[in-house]
Amino acid sequence: MTIRVLLADDQALLRGTFRILIDSCADLEVVAEAADGAEAVDLARVHHPDVVVMDVRMPGTDGLTATETICADPDLAGTRVLILTTFENDEHVARALRAGASGFLGKYVTTDALLEAIRIVAAGDSLLSPGATKALIAQFLATPPPGPLPITPGIGDLTNREREAMMLAADGMSNGEIARELHLSVHTVRTHIQRAMNRLGARDRAQLVVLAYKNGLVSPDPGTS
């Protein structure tokens, strides 16, 4: 099955380079290119790509605003957003995760890492490495919105295994590490993670990790800065 990709970046040369790279893979295909956030939203609604590779800083509507719009559109529930930018900072990461982005990657990454990132995001997993997930989510929740956070509907319906898998994912473990910790197969861990996502209405692994922190299943490491 081919993964359909939309590229959103204001630099035509960079988009062209990414297109050549992505289209060279048998399992990946660029279906459209956007020069700004507003065009990215419009083209996403037309093409319903599996993954939008989104730059942050673009003229007019920026990438984070476009991400918020795409992730809030129920008609684009099957579209995941991968933020790819030279401007990596906590504020951008936090806003991207709040908006529902499935990953955040710097443009300094290797070509192989970018291609694998697209595949990971398309599969519904978080792009962030386990260590980065722990650090970024902890920082994200260290400054939550004002007022009490409501308990997420469905949190009480989690099975013990689903809760354990969710907590270990929030602690920065990969599926393989969770499998070893719980003495399960990787396939079984994926099933528990997917069922937890379904119960809680999480779009992907990144949002599942956020919900683990929000609902007190795990606490941000006080040593994380």
Tell me if residue 212 falls in helix, strand or coil.
helix
Whole-number pLDDT of residue 33: 97
At residue 68 the predicted structure's pLDDT band, cuts being 50, 70 and 90, is very high
Whole-number pLDDT of residue 156: 87
Are the C-beta atoms of 178 and 168 separated by less than 8 Å? yes
Asked if domains 3-127 and 141-214 share a fold, the reply is: no
pLDDT digits (tens, 9 = 90+) for 103-150: 878 777 788 888 988 998 888 777 665 445 555 565 655 655 555 556
Whole-number pLDDT of residue 183: 95
Tell me if residue 119 falls in helix, strand or coil.
helix
Burial environment of residue 123 by CB neighbours within 10 A (0 to 12, 13 to 18, 19 or more): middle
Of 18-22, 78-82, 132-136, 154-158, the range with the lowest mean pLDDT is 132-136
Of 84-88, 116-120, 177-181, 210-214, the range with the lowest mean pLDDT is 84-88
**Which CATH code of 1.10.10.10, 3.90.470.20, 1.10.287.980, 1.10.150.120 fits the domain covering 141-214?**
1.10.10.10
Thinking of the domain 3-127, which architecture would CATH place it in?
3-Layer(aba) Sandwich (3.40)
Q: Which residues contact 79 (CB under 8 A, 6 or more apart)?
A: 44, 48, 49, 50, 51, 52, 70
Tell me the average pLDDT across 86-107.
73
Stated as kind and residue range, the H or E segment containing 5 is strand 3-8
Domain ranges of the chain: 3-127, 141-214
